[in-house]
Structure 1
């Protein structure tokens, strides 16, 4: 391998992407040459997995650097000089274009999520606390031909307001602050799909009542996980219709706030915010 060719940051990212590929493969989220992973190197450069390789057996020097037009750029290696970027390149680039805050994108083929999408069973419901807090309500995009421009169009509107998507009959797309963070969202999505499948085998389940959903939304907001689509999603699916905006912590009297508070408005310090979150978590654990 030729890792000495790369900066310490790029070297670290390459190794993290390889780790994510291995985890996805070992946990059955991809098989054979399925799946693809990408990460930002800078505003104009993306590190991405190659086409036609098993992601569980990749090496760091096989990863490819591309620009935002999808062209190969940067230093080639003996291991990647004859490789092409993933055929899902347009979907990855679309996610980065729609989400300047995102640092990594993961596409996988989680079997339970795919099966439920074919059966017409949505994951966008108010059943599971972990789903509400960590992913919000996960939409399913209309079917689009894999490895085509259709995929980019299918995700364009929804990825702007969500961190996880089910791609109908195809797989999942998750984004995050790092390759591992995006992978964790993929893993969470498939766990939710597995539980949803079990619930349907048992005859279905009862959604959480709105007041319980409100408390989970508060946690989601305080932890900085809220997204632009939350207000519309939770109103339509959960009957919680008095929340606002992206990354907006709850006011003391409820969920609706008109502005994002400064550090001083949360009792004056980051330590107070940490204490607030800790106390809330401990209260929930004692129930």
Structure 2
């Protein structure tokens, strides 16, 4: 039987299993204490791979995902699936993260939406026109992969197509969260992305961020704007709109909102200090990407050379640490006469205002 040996790895990710699929292997041997990520389990299931623990009795641990098969077979009874024992913790996780988004002021009014792919052709999602402060487990909906509502008392979110396009394009995606965190959305409004090689946590869990052109929310055209980027980016800025993140869980997708918004907030604060931004070196960034790769997270920079990691423009649109129209590290010089003229203008305006008050 064709088998891939991964006993040297402590963490097994979906990317680690790709050689097994390419070689049409049937089994993957892993260490007795190796951690297998959820994405790796999903990938193994999709490729009909079996895990064998080294040092055990040699019996293969089939990645059949019987629970998912059972859920798929019950798709003809969507109400039963939505209200099943296995769906309950997923729904509770969605509600917890909805509350976090509202508490952090990442959503307002009825904004934002969350979802989880519970089966191959079934997604649990939040309803439309409902504040994330008020949404309850009983409000959640079940839809198929075309957006048709299968179960639920409330109407599904109008932006479900955005979630579904991500699930179709990224088999590893299990949870999708869309919100409007203000600092990251500020970047989306100007159509630019935060520079890389700044904050280590951002590099590992988010990394390169993409930004899409604006499209009317809720339309399929809007949903399709993420397709050029979603395979290599788990975090995407939606032009003039907000942010969408995907992950192996809803909780992790919410984490990425926190990370990208914190990064953008720090950069906005840093811009007021009047000093250049210190970048993490390409060598150190390579170390961070190695950690990220072991975690099975996507990044468009994996194939870049060390010297390119922090120098290459961000994809698809770049942002510089200096004003648009100037060269990085080469700030525009202001002549002394220009400075004096500016001071004189400000002084005149201040004196004029004081004179009007008196």
TM bin (shorter chain) = 0.7 to 0.9
Give the TM-score normalised by structure 2.
0.61
Match of 1:211 in 2: 283
Asked if residue 41 in structure 1 is aligned to residue 118 in structure 2, the reply is yes
- 3-state SS of paired residue (1:191): helix
Match of 2:134 among 57, 66, 91: 57
Contact 1:16 1:179 survives alignment (8 Å)? yes
Question: In the TM superposition, what whole-angstrom CA distance separates every residue of 1:12-37 from its partner, at most 9, and x where no partner exists?
Answer: 11111111111100111101100000
Match of 2:91 in 1: 14
**How far apart, CA to CA, are the structure 2 residues paired with 1:175 and 1:238?**
24
Contact 1:137 1:234 survives alignment (8 Å)? no
State the Cα distance separating 1:191 from its structure 2 match.
Answer: 0.8
RMSD: 2.3
Match of 1:134 in 2: 205
Contact 1:137 1:233 survives alignment (8 Å)? no
Asked if residue 186 in structure 1 is aligned to residue 270 in structure 2, the reply is no
Which stretches of structure 1, 4 residues or more, deviate above 6 A after TM superposition? 2-5
Contact 2:285 2:309 survives alignment (8 Å)? no
Asked if residue 161 in structure 1 is aligned to residue 238 in structure 2, the reply is no
Question: In the TM superposition, what whole-angstrom CA distance separates every residue of 1:85-118 from its partner, at most 9, and x where no partner exists?
Answer: 1111111110100111111100000101111232
**How far apart, CA to CA, are the structure 2 residues paired with 1:97 and 1:108?**
20
Give the TM-score normalised by structure 1.
0.75
Contact 1:106 1:182 survives alignment (8 Å)? yes
- 3-state SS of paired residue (1:174): strand
State the Cα distance separating 1:5 from its structure 2 match.
Answer: 7.2
**How far apart, CA to CA, are the structure 2 residues paired with 1:5 and 1:173?**
24
Larger RCO: Structure 1 or Structure 2 (Cα < 8 Å, ≥ 6 residues apart)? Answer: 1
- 3-state SS of paired residue (1:238): coil
**How far apart, CA to CA, are the structure 2 residues paired with 1:146 and 1:222?**
35
State the Cα distance separating 1:121 from its structure 2 match.
Answer: 4.1
| More divergent stretch after superposition (6-15 vs 35-44) | 6-15
- 3-state SS of paired residue (1:155): coil
Contact 1:67 1:73 survives alignment (8 Å)? yes
**How far apart, CA to CA, are the structure 1 residues paired with 2:150 and 2:90?**
17
Q: Indicate the structure (1 or 2) with the bigger Cα radius of gyration.
A: 2
Match of 1:175 among 233, 242, 246: 246
**How far apart, CA to CA, are the structure 2 residues paired with 1:84 and 1:180?**
23
Match of 1:253 in 2: none
Asked if residue 88 in structure 1 is aligned to residue 159 in structure 2, the reply is yes
Contact 2:125 2:157 survives alignment (8 Å)? yes
Match of 1:265 in 2: none
Question: In the TM superposition, what whole-angstrom CA distance separates every residue of 1:55-82 from its partner, at most 9, and x where no partner exists?
Answer: 11111011000001111114x4xxx2xx
**How far apart, CA to CA, are the structure 2 residues paired with 1:143 and 1:175?**
20
User: Which structure 1 segments of 5+ residues have no match?
Assistant: 241-287
Contact 2:190 2:240 survives alignment (8 Å)? no
**How far apart, CA to CA, are the structure 1 residues paired with 2:121 and 2:206?**
27
